[in-house]
Chain A
Amino acid sequence: MMREITLSTAVNEAIAEEMRRDETIFLIGEDVAEAGTPFKITSGLVEEFGTDRVIDTPIAEPGFMGIAVGAAMTGSRPIVDLMFGDFIFLIMDQLCNQAAKTHYMSGGKLNVPLVLRTNMGATRRSAAQHSQSLHAIVAHIPGLKIAMPSSALEAKGLLKTAIRDDNPVVIFEDKLMYQDKAPVPEGELLIPFGQANIKREGTDITLIGTSSMVQVAEKAAETLAAEGISAEVIDPRTIVPLDMDTINASVRKTSRCIVIDEGHQSFGVTSEIAARIMEQSFYHLDGPVIRMGAMDVPIPFSPALEDITVPTPEGVIATARKLMAGEMFDV
């Protein structure tokens, strides 16, 4: 029987294993040392690696992000902890103008091998500035790789791959999944980028989900199966690079597709994947590719409102039924 660990432990293990392997790796961010972050993800690391490699910073996100970029250009491999994904707006210049472009602007002479770990996900009752899922915004910038783990297994395997990558990689962990357990094998675990995972095979409809939306898709698929609708569930695992081969193969088989992602629906990841499917697999489709993202509203505080904003299994089920029935979709 394989052991089960939480996503939080998986991240901690990945960092510790990589730091033991490579002295050039260090961890930097707010309250990453003794506090172990507010989510207690990095607890214990400072005891093993010391304050020289587990570096607490002032509350100065652009500053420590910039420092990480410079360190990455000069022989270090920093792992940056950004406490909330919402704070990514604070570091946009360092991430998008500096880290993402340095390799290209230098004609390939300089590398920026850094990992930015941050989080995403609403329904934690944290309101509009601690609940956003902003991966699409950075996925728009060439030069950044974007990983979105959907369980403890992916959290460990993708993070270890990210740390060994010679490019800036941004990992978005769903903050509501930190205590979720999943089977994770002992020992070395590397999950390659750009390889989608077929979580469940099916023949009637493809449900593509990212991060926690993989669980939403799987729950929907269970119910749909009871109704005789066979749904295939795909987890892209990284959105940059994006494994369109697996996605196209699935959609060409099922002829119908819903893309589910917790970023805002407009101009988002769902739109990008849907557009690529329509460009590349249009003649295999029997219906429109449907996007299901977070509503285009700032995330509200009240539970009565917040829960409405994100895709749910019930919503996916209703949409799948309409798609199977050939019904029209409203704007």
Chain B
Amino acid sequence: MRQANTETYLRMYRQMVRIRNFEDQANQLYLSAKMPGLTHMYSGEEAVAVGICEALKVTDKITSTHRGHGHCVAKGAEFKQMFCELLGKEEGYCRGKGGSMHIADQSNGNLGANAIVGGSMGIATGAALSAKRLGTDDVTVCFFGDGATAQGLMYEVMNMAALWSLPVIYACENNGYSEYTRTDEIAAGSITARAEAFGIEAFKVDGQDVLAVNDLAQKLVARCRKGEGPFFIELETYRYHGHHVGDINRDYYRSKDEEKAWHANRDPITNFGAWLTGEGIADQGELDAINAAVKADAEAAVAYALDAKYPDGSEVDMHVFAGAS
């Protein structure tokens, strides 16, 4: 059993390390003023995206958020096209037209990162309606944060998803902060009770534990495929950075001690690595080799993207309409 799963475990570890490395590089690009605009880091939340996306197949769909690099990597995207997108280059997944907040590898079922908080909840639910109507067995996962639970759209589409038994999983990444405000200041009552009010089965899981997340996701995805959806998951997690890379001085809403404690005790990569070595699935040397290989990959992709060309100015009015020349 364990032997058969070794490959899966190491892939989950590697994917989490890839997200962390991508974000570290993105942060450096911002700090060194090589990246246009700004970006929202997924660091600290890796087990959520990886635990869920490892339960999905390529044609399953996800919708992502402004904090979307992690979902993009976890759903199968490559570093090169991602860094090119981050830097507004022609070879980016969106030909440089989306940037950090709209990054998506569409060919892997990523329906886009959405810069409107809660804006993708209809899209995810509609993708599930398509799957049900057209008879595919695809499942859609809608990633969103605790902040998005304050948007009315969520309640409208959960109502319809429940009425129509749609194969969609609402994955609430509760990182404790709605931008610069503590979640308990913006969310009354229980998060999962919001879904339960519609008769949707709701679960709470430790979002720092990739195995717990993956185990739950596997079960719910399988049930969705059997027509038992929708489902709701609240994943308790933590974002290591501020709301965005420029949110440096954040003592007024979050203490340094709290951040240190999460880094020290709840880091999803460190803890999963310790579990892997403790269980004898991998030794530290193997994990170090993965870490080093991913870091080298990320550095090479950054170098490639920095040298890549920008889209030609003639592309500015291309893709306004489909089917137009």
Interface of A toward B, CB cutoff 8 Å: 24, 26, 52-53, 57-58, 60, 62-76, 78, 93-94, 97-98, 102-111, 113, 142-143, 145, 165-167
Contact = CB atoms under 8 A, between A and B. Distances in A.
A108 B318 contact: yes
Interface residues of B, number: 47
Given A66-B121, A97-B116, A104-B97, A73 B133 contact: no
Interface of B: 61, 63, 92-98, 102, 104, 106-107, 111-112, 114, 116, 119-131, 133-134, 138, 140, 152-153, 156-157, 159-160, 163, 318-323
A76 B133 contact: yes
A84 B95 CA distance: 38
Given A58-B159, A70-B122, 20 more contacts: A53-B133, A58-B156, A58-B163, A63-B156, A63-B160, A65-B122, A66-B126, A68-B126, A70-B125, A74-B61, A74-B138, A94-B153, A97-B116, A98-B122, A105-B97, A105-B98, A107-B94, A108-B319, A110-B112, A142-B320
B116 A93 contact: yes
A80 B102 CA distance: 25
A144 to B, nearest CB: 9
Contacts of B120: 98
A57 B160 contact: yes
Contact of A67 (B61, B104, B160): B160
9 contacts: A58-B159, A67-B129, A76-B134, A98-B119, A103-B322, A107-B93, A108-B322, A109-B107, A113-B322
A69 B119 CA distance: 11
A94 B160 contact: no
A167 B159 contact: no
Given A107-B319, A167-B322, A67 B106 contact: no
A63 B122 contact: yes
B98 A106 contact: yes
B119 A97 contact: yes
Contact of B152 (A52, A62, A70, A75): A62
A214 to B, nearest CB: 26
Closest A-B pairs by Cβ, 8 of them: A66-B122, A70-B126, A63-B156, A107-B95, A70-B123, A60-B156, A107-B94, A71-B126
